[in-house]
Amino acid sequence: MSAISHAKDHDACVPGAERSAKSTILETGASMTQDFTPTKNICAHLNAFHIYASDPSRPPVEANHYCGHLNEDVRQCLLYDSPNPGARLIGVEYMIKPHLYESLPQDERRLWHSHVFEVKSGMLVMPQPNSLVPTAVWEKAETAEMAEVIQLYGKVYHLWQVDRGDKLPLGQPELMTSITAEGQVPDLDKRMDERDKRFAGQGVDWRRKKEIRQDLKEMEVHQDADWTWKKS
């Protein structure tokens, strides 16, 4: 299934009338006259899988992260269920450096997760935007980005449980976490293979990423992080 058809399947699940020509015209006009400054600092598209902190036995949820820097120590990301037009906004993630994480109280620290396994396993990827960028150049840029992310803690909430077929964002926000070790998620390799196929032609190959990231410097993960896997 292509990334585009993947998005269309999701669109069909959302109730409501198809966008009218009037709405399209009004939105086009607004986009030409308004300033969307807060969204203009988005500088990275990342793709990975999240786990429900309340029930890690539930299947992982694929999320496309569109991230920007607030400063050198804090990032914020909008999460979508696909990278295509009509994608649903399903959550948000914040990422911070260790010195900020360590300043938090213990109850708060337990809400955050590490990214070490996500990066080293090749699960976290930054799809190549277009074929005009040489693969070698993009791979170098992606690896440099991963060297940064591997040193960050993340806190993520999903607002729309698309995995269970919700047609609208229902219920309370769900705290999510990362996969932190082999064997936590059945058939993870298969899920990553399916994801890679949807990004065909965009340099997404988790096995290749895993190979070239082995020498990235890991941070020492705080004992309070990744609490989901320690309490279960």
The 3-state secondary structure of 167-203 reads: CCCCCCCEEEECCCCCCCCCCHHHHHHHHHHHCCCCC
- Closest Cα partner for 97 from 110, 122, 114, 117? 114
User: What is residue 23's predicted lDDT score, i.e. its pLDDT?
Assistant: 53
The amino acid present at 229, given as its one-letter code, is W
C-alpha–C-alpha distance, residues 156 and 46, integer Å: 14
Contact 63, 79 (CB under 8 A): yes
The pair of structure tokens assigned to 178 is 């990362």
Contact 107, 224 (CB under 8 A): no
Give the dihedral of Cα atoms 26, 32, 35, 36; nearest 10 deg: 70
The amino acid present at 68, given as its one-letter code, is G
Domain ranges for the chain: 3-231
The pair of structure tokens assigned to 175 is 């705290």
* pTM summary value: 0.87
Walk along the chain (232 residues) in steps of 10 and give the mean pLDDT of each run: 41 65 58 74 92 96 96 97 94 98 98 98 92 86 96 98 96 98 95 96 95 96 97 66
C-alpha–C-alpha distance, residues 213 and 211, integer Å: 6
Q: Is 166 exposed, middle or buried (0-12, 13-18, 19+ CB in 10 A)?
A: middle
Is residue 38 helix, strand or coil?
helix
Contact 182, 200 (CB under 8 A): no
Euclidean distance between the first and the last CA atom of the chain, given in angstroms as a whole number? 34
User: What is residue 7's predicted lDDT score, i.e. its pLDDT?
Assistant: 40
User: What is residue 225's predicted lDDT score, i.e. its pLDDT?
Assistant: 98
C-alpha–C-alpha distance, residues 77 and 65, integer Å: 6
